[in-house]
Structure 1
Amino acid sequence: MTWMPVPECQDVAILYSGGTDSLSLYALAFSGRHPLIPRPRRIHLLHMLNGMGRFPAFPKNRMRVAKRILAAQAPEPDKVPKTSYVELDMGRLFQGLWLDVYEDLMPKYGGKNLVCVACKLAMHARGIIYCVEHLAPTMLAGYTKKQGYYPEQTYVFMEKTAHLSKRFGIRTAFPLYEDLDIESVGRHLLEDLGLPSTGGGERKCLFCQTKTSATEKEIGAYLDDMFPMVSSYIEYRLEGRIKDAAMCFPPGRDVSEKK
């Protein structure tokens, strides 16, 4: 999978968990030390809240430490990009995409557990809205090949969510997917920059590493079914049609009724 370089001197949003992969993405964007990520004007670190994460201080604390270390190393400190750390709640989307209706949805997708796919889809939808509203034309995610066993870090998920973003004028890319294909590369990068290279920077989610045997077939089918509703939600939110947006995901309703 190949990606074109991010345009220079534009705002860039990063889906930021505080873990080593999203931290690597932030460090490279901040320093402009990656051919696909020239130094942006401002970096928006979007930390998503799904309602199931513990240790809320970890991601922000790691960002503060990283920002201070990276700024101290910058050859031109007055030209480093500004950093905005933003917490965005996407719990209602997460509920509507899976938790409220999983009993109805699982049989449609071979009984597979797609809870993490739904959560990441909600994150991307919320990120698209933020990017459009804040004029950040590019959104980056630190997905990596070494974690391809996660259903939300598969080719089908990346390709389809990138296509969804494109509908709203936002370019979503995963520039470190091939680079960080083994854990030692990410550790080397972070240690070389003087940054924390082990875990402990992200919230601990209840659903993290939940067992699933979902394949790209089920993942793709689920995304195809959800995209029309998610697209409508994004459109309504951007147009200020708050009632229509809310009714895209009424609690406890079968989403298949809305097709």
Structure 2
Amino acid sequence: MKSNDVILLFSGGIDCSLAACLLIEAKHKVHLIHYTNGTGIPNYLYRVRYNELKAVLGEDNITLSELNIPGLFRKLSLANIEEDFNKYHNNMICLGCRMSMHVETIIYALKNNIHMVADGSIHYQSHFPEQSSIALTLFRKLYEQYEIDYMNPVLEIKEKNNVKYKLLDYGISIQSMEDTCLFNNTFSESSDENIEKYINERITYCKTYIDRKLNFAYNNSI
């Protein structure tokens, strides 16, 4: 019988924070995972948000792990950057970054026997390549190959203010507590065709990476 545990990709931002609230209200135990790819400016405010979520929602319902993913991020986003710019004519770095998070999440899920994953992908940011409909569909297909359900609890919310109001209803503060990403807002919108091609070009490597990393250990809960 599958457990009711769910992994949530967690930046400390308002969208994933609301997703955590909704999942816990739906009787899930939530395992937050925060990722560091080596290119951001850390402020560790996501730990403040984690403590806030624990205090409001119950510390037995939520955990936090921190994963360093610079190697996979470099491989997917940066290793072929000149070729990628020539091919796609825009910045796909954030798409590769999100893909690396999903791949590392699959490994974490398999090692911990968790069969559900969620994130804070949301309608009002669907112009971001990594939150586009085609990207979410392809990520979902990748998860399905490992018998993992991939959910987007806040996807249908169309306005940022609605996220803030819902957080206030839960008693959660509405400040974003994300680290500073140096690549944030450096992208331009991409076509579905290019997004699909970018992801599919990397799938074989990602599957090989998953198989290899399943032999490694994680010990990142705080």
Tell me the TM-score normalized by structure 1. Answer: 0.79
- How far apart are residue 8 of structure 1 and its match? 8.7
- Secondary structure of the 1:185 match is helix
Partner Cα separation in structure 1 for residue 199 and residue 150 of structure 2? 16
Q: Tell me how many residue pairs correspond in the alignment.
A: 217
Q: Percent identity?
A: 26
Instruction: Show the counterpart of 2:220.
Output: none
- How far apart are residue 52 of structure 1 and its match? 1.6
Q: Which of 23, 45, 67 is matched with 1:29 structurally?
A: 23
Partner Cα separation in structure 1 for residue 164 and residue 197 of structure 2? 35
- How far apart are residue 108 of structure 1 and its match? 2.5
- How far apart are residue 67 of structure 1 and its match? 1.4
Instruction: Show the counterpart of 1:198.
Output: 175
- How far apart are residue 241 of structure 1 and its match? 8.4
Q: Are residues 161 and 91 of structure 1, via their aligned partners in 2, closer, same or farther at CA, if it must alter by over 3 Å?
A: same
Larger radius of gyration: 1
4+ runs of 1 displaced by more than 3 Å? none
- How far apart are residue 236 of structure 1 and its match? 2.0
Structure 1 residue 113 corresponds to structure 2 residue 91: yes
Partner Cα separation in structure 1 for residue 13 and residue 2 of structure 2? 25
Q: Which of 209, 228, 238 is matched with 2:185 structurally?
A: 209
- Secondary structure of the 1:159 match is helix
Partner Cα separation in structure 2 for residue 175 and residue 213 of structure 1? 24
Q: Which of 114, 132, 150 is matched with 2:128 structurally?
A: 150
- How far apart are residue 225 of structure 1 and its match? 0.9
Partner Cα separation in structure 2 for residue 127 and residue 18 of structure 1? 17
Partner Cα separation in structure 1 for residue 164 and residue 56 of structure 2? 16
RMSD over equivalenced CA pairs, Å:
1.9
- How far apart are residue 9 of structure 1 and its match? 5.2
Partner Cα separation in structure 2 for residue 154 and residue 195 of structure 1? 27
Q: Which of 108, 119, 130 is matched with 2:108 structurally?
A: 130
Which consecutive unaligned segments of at least 5 residues does structure 1 have? 1-6, 33-37, 72-79, 243-259
- How far apart are residue 102 of structure 1 and its match? 0.4
Partner Cα separation in structure 2 for residue 127 and residue 241 of structure 1? 14
- Secondary structure of the 1:98 match is helix
Q: Which of 39, 50, 55 is matched with 1:63 structurally?
A: 50
Partner Cα separation in structure 1 for residue 158 and residue 179 of structure 2? 23
Instruction: Specify the code of the residue in structure 1 equivalent to 2:19.
Output: L
What pairs with 1:1-259 in structure 2 (closer than 5 Å)?
A: 10-30=4-24, 32=25, 38-40=26-28, 42-71=29-58, 81-109=60-88, 111-178=89-156, 180-199=157-176, 201-238=177-214, 240=215
Instruction: Specify the code of the residue in structure 2 equivalent to 1:14.
Output: L
Tell me the TM-score normalized by structure 2. Answer: 0.92
Which consecutive unaligned segments of at least 5 residues does structure 2 have? 218-222
